[in-house]
């Protein structure tokens, strides 16, 4: 629901001006957001009304509006149109004849039926009909009519209302792997609540088959303390966190696992085993990290890279970082991702190395050294995600305002951007390491179990893509 600031001419009808038979109407179309907003405002979360999976098995076989949604529109007509400002609702009696479903257009009509001179009350007939002319609501409303005339211009500023259902975004992400075979995943040192709960939740959702690697007694103690069910989950005993990392990586190398997941150990501890020359998981690609973020205030998924592995990547490093992210975007169903190479400014400045890198990377893409995406840069963050900002600055670009991959100059800036979006913009976040033999779920130790489970979805999609390519 968007901002609706306008000049509105307010004219009410006093009791003396109202004539029997006078009427007024309002037309509204029921949208999915209306159903959700009504539930939020009233606290009525009846799943038979708002949940499609429940509604489909119910009486009406689809999502319907709460009856009082139509009833509230009657109050809207009375309070804002006829009689208008100063109207006080005294009594209301309604009969609900038919359901109102998503997409129905309702005409709400109130007609003056009876007046009472002794108290200035007026009784209105109230009828709501759908687009087929069928009654959905009928009844009466008794009001105290305005006594003073209001006729003036009034500037009306309506606040913007945005419904942010993070759980819905989370369940939608989980649906991406529905029907796919769970991926065997080595989990290194899951020895606290969130790091253990995450893979277990992913197991229960059918996303992965976790192999928990760590001190078995400690893992079971955490599970018992927090009521986490380990039934059906394999545990491989390890002496300590470093041993856990080494064993987890070896399970990948032997083919027992097709993905690796960080537990409650430090990132450096796990990655030192991953990058080991002799027994690690290196490929000919530079290893990099991608944050996949679903931001409620942005119209596209966002991939932010690199915000966790490469501290100060060189131009050569950035080539692989970008290519890794592009190939992930392809797996996620984005055929030609728009890649914004970020800096503080949108022009090339010899004093700002990131602008020089951006210009070189774009030319490398032109020459086929980076493939599969549309690159532009340097772009400041606002130009990358806001078409208004881009137009204001006169930037003509296929990427500006529509970026799907944000390539940051260094780890510090990337980490700040990603965590600001997570903690201040309520972004749904997943973290994955690319450029290795298998995907690595790499999240912060402060991340929730849901974030870890969401990251498992991305790892599973990559693992299945690797299977199709015959990489395993």
User: What is the DSSP track for 136-205?
Assistant: EEEEEEEEEPPSS--EEEEEE-PPP-----HHHHHHHHHGGGTTSPPEEEEEE---SHHHHHHHHHHHHT
What is the average per-residue pLDDT within 70-97?
Answer: 92
Cα(382)–Cα(379) distance, integer angstroms: 8
Which of 42, 206, 13, 192 has the alpha carbon at shortest distance from 112? 13
Cα(160)–Cα(3) distance, integer angstroms: 5
CATH number for the domain including 249? 3.40.50.10950
Same domain, 14 and 128: yes
Same domain, 274 and 291: no
CATH number for the domain including 289? 3.40.718.10
Which of 219, 171, 212 has the alpha carbon at shortest distance from 192? 219
Q: For residue 24, tell me if it sits in a domain.
A: yes
Cα(266)–Cα(43) distance, integer angstroms: 42
Same domain, 217 and 114: no
Same domain, 232 and 339: no
At 441, is the secondary structure helix, strand, or coil?
strand
Residue where one domain finishes, among candidates 282, 308, 328: 282
pLDDT tier for residue 36 given thresholds of 50, 70 and 90: confident
Same domain, 414 and 338: yes
Residue in the block written with tokens 């950035």: 318
Helix residue ranges, H only, 266-410: 267-274, 315-331, 353-366, 381-385, 387-392
Question: 90 with 12: CB under 8 angstroms?
Answer: no
Cα(325)–Cα(321) distance, integer angstroms: 6
Same domain, 342 and 399: yes
pLDDT tier for residue 166 given thresholds of 50, 70 and 90: confident
Q: Return mean pLDDT, the chain.
A: 89
Does 56 have pLDDT greater than 50? Answer: no
Least confident among 99-103, 208-212, 323-327, 416-420: 99-103
Q: For residue 472, tell me if it sits in a domain.
A: no
Q: For residue 267, tell me if it sits in a domain.
A: yes
Q: For residue 469, tell me if it sits in a domain.
A: no
Q: For residue 393, tell me if it sits in a domain.
A: yes
Q: For residue 99, tell me if it sits in a domain.
A: yes
Same domain, 133 and 170: no
Quick one: how far is CA 33 from the chain centroid?
15
Same domain, 260 and 172: yes
Same domain, 258 and 313: no
**pLDDT greater at residue 168 or residue 313:** 313
Instruction: Report phi then psi at 258, rounded to 5.
Output: -110, 5
pLDDT digits (tens, 9 = 90+) for 114-141: 999 999 999 999 999 999 999 999 999 9
Does 38 have pLDDT greater than 70? Answer: yes
Instruction: Report phi then psi at 394, rounded to 5.
Output: 70, 30
pLDDT digits (tens, 9 = 90+) for 408-445: 999 999 999 999 999 999 999 999 999 999 999 998 87
Does 97 have pLDDT greater than 60? Answer: yes
Does 60 have pLDDT greater than 60? Answer: no
Same domain, 10 and 87: yes
Report the pLDDT value the prediction gives residue 334, as an integer from 0 to 100: 94
Q: Spell out the residues 6+ positions from residue 407 whose beta carbon is closer than 8 angstroms to its own.
A: 305, 318, 321, 322, 325, 339, 340, 341, 342, 361, 377
What is the average per-residue pLDDT within 80-102?
Answer: 91
Report the pLDDT value the prediction gives residue 164, as an integer from 0 to 100: 73
Residue where one domain finishes, among candidates 113, 128, 156: 156
pLDDT digits (tens, 9 = 90+) for 235-259: 999 999 999 999 999 999 999 999 9
Report the pLDDT value the prediction gives residue 448, as an integer from 0 to 100: 84
What is the DSSP secondary structure assignment for residue 260, as one 8-state letter? E
Range of the domain at 356: 285-435
Which of 344, 340, 337 has the alpha carbon at shortest distance from 385? 340
Report the pLDDT value the prediction gives residue 43, as an integer from 0 to 100: 74
**Which structure tokens are listed for 464?**
């299945």
What is the average per-residue pLDDT within 43-68?
Answer: 59
Q: For residue 204, tell me if it sits in a domain.
A: yes
Report the pLDDT value the prediction gives residue 303, as an integer from 0 to 100: 97
pLDDT digits (tens, 9 = 90+) for 336-351: 999 999 999 999 999 9
Q: For residue 323, tell me if it sits in a domain.
A: yes
Q: Spell out the residues 6+ positions from residue 319 whose beta carbon is closer than 8 angstroms to its own.
A: 286, 361, 364, 369, 370
Residue where one domain finishes, among candidates 91, 123, 156: 156
At 290, is the secondary structure helix, strand, or coil?
strand
Same domain, 271 and 294: no
Least confident among 29-43, 188-202, 271-285, 385-399: 29-43
Residue in the block written with tokens 């998981």: 281
**Which structure tokens are listed for 262?**
């960080």
pLDDT above 70: percentage of residues in the chain? 91
Give the number of domains in the chain: 3
What is the average per-residue pLDDT within 448-469?
Answer: 91
Same domain, 336 and 253: no
């Amino acid at each position: 629901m968007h901002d609706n600031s306008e000049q509105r001419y307010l004219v009410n009808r006093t009791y003396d001006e109202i004539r029997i038979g006078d009427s007024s109407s309002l037309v509204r179309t029921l949208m999915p957001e209306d159903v959700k907003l009504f539930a939020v405002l009233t606290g009525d979360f009846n799943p038979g009304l708002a949940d499609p999976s429940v509604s489909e098995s119910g009486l009406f076989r689809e999502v319907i509006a709460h009856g009082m949604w139509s009833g509230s529109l009657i109050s809207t007509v009375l309070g804002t149109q006829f009689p208008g400002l100063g109207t006080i609702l005294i009594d209301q009696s309604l009969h609900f004849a038919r359901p109102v479903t998503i997409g129905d257009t309702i005409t709400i009509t109130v007609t003056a039926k009876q007046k009472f001179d002794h108290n200035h009350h007026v009784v209105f007939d109230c009828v709501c009909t759908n687009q087929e002319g069928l009654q959905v609501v009928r009844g009466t409303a008794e009001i105290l009519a305005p006594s003073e005339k209001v006729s003036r211009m009034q500037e009306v500023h309506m606040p913007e209302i945005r419904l942010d259902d993070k759980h819905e975004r989370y369940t939608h992400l989980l649906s991406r792997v529905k029907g796919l075979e769970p991926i065997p995943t080595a989990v290194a040192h899951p020895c606290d609540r969130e790091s253990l709960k995450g893979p277990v939740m992913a197991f229960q959702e059918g996303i992965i088959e976790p192999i928990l690697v760590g001190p078995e007694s400690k893992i079971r103690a955490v599970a018992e303390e927090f009521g986490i069910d380990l039934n059906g989950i394999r545990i491989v005993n390890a002496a300590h966190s470093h041993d856990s990392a080494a064993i987890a990586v070896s399970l990948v190398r032997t083919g027992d696992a097709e993905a690796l997941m960080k537990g409650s150990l430090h990132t450096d501890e796990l990655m030192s085993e991953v990058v080991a020359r002799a027994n690690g998981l290196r490929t000919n690609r530079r290893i990099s990290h991608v944050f996949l973020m679903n931001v409620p205030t942005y119209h596209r998924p966002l991939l932010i890279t690199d915000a966790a592995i490469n501290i100060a990547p060189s131009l050569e490093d950035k080539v692989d970082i970008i290519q890794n992210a592009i190939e992930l975007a392809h797996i996620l169903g984005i055929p030609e991702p728009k890649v914004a190479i970020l800096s503080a400014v949108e022009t090339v400045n010899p004093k700002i190395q990131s602008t020089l890198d951006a210009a070189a990377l774009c030319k490398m893409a032109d020459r086929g050294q980076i493939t599969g995406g549309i690159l532009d840069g340097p772009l400041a963050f606002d130009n990358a995600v806001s078409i208004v900002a881009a137009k204001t600055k006169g930037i003509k670009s296929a990427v500006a305002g529509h970026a799907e991959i944000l390539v940051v100059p260094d780890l510090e800036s990337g980490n700040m951007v990603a965590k600001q979006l997570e903690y201040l913009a309520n972004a749904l976040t997943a973290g994955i390491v690319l450029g290795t033999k298998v995907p690595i779920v790499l999240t912060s130790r402060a991340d929730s179990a849901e974030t870890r489970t969401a990251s498992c979805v991305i790892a599973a999609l990559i693992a299945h893509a690797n299977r199709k390519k015959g990489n395993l």
